[in-house]
């Protein structure tokens, strides 16, 4: 799989280089691709010299540094090719004379830095993986990872892909995850690389969406830095099954960007305008159980302009209904064929409400502020802060900016409802679990960033702060985020890496109670057999 992608990316990059050299121009994605390609080539050259002059290199782990560079090269080369192919088509979809959504005066739509900033955020998002690569290399297949591998072993990849389990029907995620398992020959490091590259892409899309809808440049930078670097995302970015949530977020952001970029206030149904939107919605729903929220959110996005232009609601009603259909279809499959909590809600609605409110009101502040205990004061403080931030953000925003904030608020509330129903049995404290933070950060950070940007603008006006001072403040924010990673990694890598590896290397046991951690129905020897069969490493 990696070899095939590399060959495709190499051909695409070669064609683009020839094309751009003929025009005497260049692009940022090709700069990134060239750097990654050059780094990989240099490493292989040095390795070859060592092989010839010193000692034979026999361990495949000697080439571990090359694989991330190859992934970066593939992503950047395909990004450049896709951009070259889509740009002229997008310009034809938007009629001449329509400038698109109005931008804030603080971000000129033609500002070079406003276009570069999201991509810089994507590169910054990879910093924790690069800085603490040795700690991440200690992680190993854990709990649900083994469960999915076991199902593949029993059913085969294709049959397993279409199976419903728990409250999930995620065929696209299963196909990608199972393909990566087989394509990377059981390498957990490669699986984590896919997670981080997806996170970097999400950071780029997040920044572009904020800039496109008129957020001040400072707000875009603040939101991207925290979203990219907070250690609250460790469980999401350190556990391969969480790729499901990351992919669903990718398709949500792509759908919002597409809707914001190529549809018009008075536009009715069109396959060219709404066909890609339906594909993104379907892909999100087929990657993650809560990906079904992408459909309702985009239906709201399609209908939003009708609040100010009543004459267009009839033309937008059909696209909005069609946006709901993929999500409704997946939700119906889950409701009928899965065995989740939704089948036994009688007497549990209070628990579901408590869990949902806990998720909505206390996240993402609980972990961002480093809190470890829950008491009445904490609940009131975090709840008041969250509601205050939402109110302040809506009060400051206008036009497309406010519309996006309302969509993100609906997304946050939708997650709270689905989590309340699906996870109430795990207890109220579980609503603060880090695995749920990714969506909460995405929904809340734009509100916070808008308020902080307004405060920074006031300070710069009153005290004549120079841009360099704002840069220092942003760098300080990045440092605050990064400084929390070592402590979090120390605990996380021990019980999800070192201890599991030791368990897999331990002598065989016939003890019937020797079960896998966090997977009490799988015997240790079954996990060892899967490790050998699929070369899990």
Angle at the Cα of 403 (from 399 to 409), degrees rounded to 5? 145
Q: Provide the residue-wise pLDDT of the chain in tens; the chain has 537 residues.
A: 556 667 777 877 787 777 777 666 667 677 777 777 777 777 677 777 666 676 676 666 666 666 677 777 777 777 777 767 655 543 333 333 333 333 333 444 445 667 788 888 999 999 999 999 999 999 999 989 999 999 999 999 999 998 887 778 899 999 999 999 999 999 999 999 999 999 999 999 999 999 989 898 889 999 999 999 999 999 999 999 999 999 999 999 999 999 887 654 445 666 777 788 999 999 999 999 889 999 999 999 888 776 655 546 667 788 888 889 988 988 888 877 777 767 777 777 888 888 888 889 888 988 887 777 777 777 778 888 899 899 989 988 888 899 999 999 999 999 998 888 888 888 878 888 888 889 999 999 999 999 888 877 766 665 555 666 777 888 889 999 999 999 999 999 998 999 999 999 999 988 888 999 888 889 999 999 999 999 999
Residue 376's Cβ-side half-sphere holds a number of Cα atoms within 13 Å equal to: 0
Decide: 525 and 515 in contact? Cβ < 8 Å.
Answer: no
How far, CA to CA in Å, does 452 sit from each of 392, 449, 499? Answer: 11, 5, 42
Other CB atoms within 10 Å distance of the CB of residue 240: 21
Decide: 214 and 101 in contact? Cβ < 8 Å.
Answer: yes
Extents of the domains making up the chain: 1-93, 339-465
Q: What are 277's two structure tokens? A: 């939107």
Burial (CB count within 10 angstroms: exposed 0-12, middle 13-18, buried 19+), residue 384: exposed
Distance CA 181, CA 243 (A): 12
Angle at the Cα of 252 (from 249 to 253), degrees rounded to 5? 90
Distance from CA of residue 123 to its chain's centroid?
14
DSSP symbol at 506:
S
User: pTM to 2 decimals?
Assistant: 0.78
Decide: 129 and 224 in contact? Cβ < 8 Å.
Answer: no
How is the chain split among helix, strand and coil, in percent rounded to 5? 75, 0, 20
């Amino acid at each position: 799989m990696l070899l095939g992608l590399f060959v495709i990316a190499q051909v695409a990059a070669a064609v683009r280089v020839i094309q751009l050299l003929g025009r005497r121009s260049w692009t940022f994605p090709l700069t990134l691709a060239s750097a990654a390609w050059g780094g990989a080539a240099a490493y292989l050259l040095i390795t070859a010299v060592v092989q010839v002059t010193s000692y034979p290199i026999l361990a495949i782990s000697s080439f571990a540094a090359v694989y991330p560079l190859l992934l970066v090269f593939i992503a950047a080369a395909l990004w450049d090719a896709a951009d070259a192919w889509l740009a002229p088509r997008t310009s034809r979809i938007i009629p001449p004379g329509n400038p698109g959504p109005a931008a804030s005066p603080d971000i000129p739509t033609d500002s070079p830095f406003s276009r570069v900033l999201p991509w810089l955020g994507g590169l910054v998002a990879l910093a924790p993986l690069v800085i603490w690569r040795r700690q991440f290399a200690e992680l190993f297949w854990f709990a649900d990872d083994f469960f999915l591998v076991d199902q593949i072993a029993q059913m085969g990849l294709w049959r397993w892909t279409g199976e419903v389990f728990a409250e999930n029907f995620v065929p696209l995620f299963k196909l990608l995850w199972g393909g990566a398992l087989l394509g990377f020959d059981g390498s957990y490091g490669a699986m984590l690389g896919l997670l981080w590259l997806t996170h970097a892409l999400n950071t780029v899309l997040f920044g572009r969406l904020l800039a496109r809808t008129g957020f001040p440049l400072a707000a875009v930078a603040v939101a991207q830095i925290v979203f990219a670097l907070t250690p609250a995302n460790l469980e999401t970015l350190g556990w391969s099954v969480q790729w499901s949530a990351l992919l669903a977020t990718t398709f949500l952001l792509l759908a919002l960007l597409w809707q914001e970029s190529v549809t018009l206030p008075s536009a009715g149904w069109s396959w060219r305008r709404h066909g890609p939107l339906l594909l993104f919605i379907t892909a999100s729903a087929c990657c993650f159980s809560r990906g079904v929220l992408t459909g309702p959110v985009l239906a709201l996005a399609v209908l939003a302009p009708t609040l100010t232009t009543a004459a267009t609601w009839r033309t937008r009603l059909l696209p909005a209904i069609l946006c709901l259909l993929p999500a409704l279809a997946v939700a119906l499959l889950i409701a009928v064929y899965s065995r989740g909590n939704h089948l036994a809600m009688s007497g549990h609605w209070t628990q579901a409400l408590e869990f949902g409110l806990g998720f909505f009101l206390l996240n993402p502040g609980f972990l961002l502020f480093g809190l470890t205990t829950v008491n009445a004061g904490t609940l009131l403080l975090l709840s008041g802060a969250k509601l205050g931030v939402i109110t302040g953000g809506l009060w400051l925003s206008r036009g497309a900016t406010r519309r996006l904030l309302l969509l993100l608020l609906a997304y946050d509330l939708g997650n709270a409802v689905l989590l309340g129903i699906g996870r109430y049995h795990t207890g109220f404290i579980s609503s603060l679990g880090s695995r749920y933070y990714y969506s909460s950060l995405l929904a809340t950070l734009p509100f916070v960033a808008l308020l902080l940007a307004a405060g920074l603008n006031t300070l710069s006006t009153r005290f004549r702060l120079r841009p360099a001072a704002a840069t220092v403040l942003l760098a300080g924010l990045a440092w605050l985020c990064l400084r929390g990673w070592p402590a979090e990694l120390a605990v996380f890598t021990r019980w999800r890496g070192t201890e599991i590896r030791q368990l897999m290397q331990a002598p065989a046991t016939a003890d019937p109670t020797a079960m896998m951690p966090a997977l009490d129905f799988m015997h240790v020897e079954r996990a060892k057999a899967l490790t050998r069969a699929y070369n899990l490493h």
